[in-house]
Amino acid sequence: MLFRYRRYLPHLEIQNSSYFVTFRLAGSVPLKVIENWKSEREEILKLALSNRRSLSEHEKQRLKFLFCAKIDDYSDKGRGDCWLENPGIAQLVVNALRYFDSQRYNLHAWCVMPNHVHVVFTVISDGAETDSDLDRILHSWKSFTSHEANKILARSGTFWQSEYYDHLIRCNEDFGHCVEYTLQNPVKAGLCSHWDQWPWSGCSEKIKLLLST
């Protein structure tokens, strides 16, 4: 098990586990909004402490997930940079997600929105307990796509937020919820009427089979 705290968000990692991950464009959510999120989260933690009870790890993970949904609601309004609306850039990101599928991770579901990306996947660990497989995977996705997207946009500078959100999936029910959340995001945002109408979302054949039953 590896526990990290990077900037605004805590990260709990267990080798060969499944995760729901969200990463966003640098200009999609203002820093002030994220700082307000952090303050609100800390108030909830303080309230639990004042009642002489600390949050369980499950409660902390659930709290992270709920706040992720809150920021998603903000993002879905299309505020800030929306470079992923460009079909070439959206497809670039999808291709990057699928490139190392079944090698570094097993990809279960994904969705590229106008200003953020959701992914559900299972890490295939290399066995190094001191390093973060999750960090390496996210860095690979973000580094390659930021370089190529900036070329398409004829710009330079930061493309993705340095921070990302990750949720450690703990059970089948949680897994199903994360997959549904990912695939239904464009429907919820009013971009299409059914998840498979969105050209930059998808899922594994196993998930498709489960959805068809």
pLDDT of residue 157: 93
C-alpha pair distances (Å), 28 with each of 81, 125, 138, 161:
5, 31, 18, 8
Q: How far apart are CA 192 and CA 187, in angstroms?
A: 5
pLDDT of residue 163: 82
Structure-block tokens of residue 81: 């940079």
Segment 14-24 shows an average pLDDT of 83
pLDDT of residue 16: 65
pTM for this entry: 0.77
pLDDT tens per residue across span 144-187: 999 999 999 999 999 998 888 888 898 899 999 999 999 999 99
Our measurement of the distance from residue 161's CA atom to the centroid of its chain's CA atoms, rounded to an integer in Å, reads 12
pLDDT tens per residue across span 75-99: 666 667 899 999 999 999 999 999 9
Ordered structural domains, the chain, with CATH: 2-212 (3.30.70.1290)
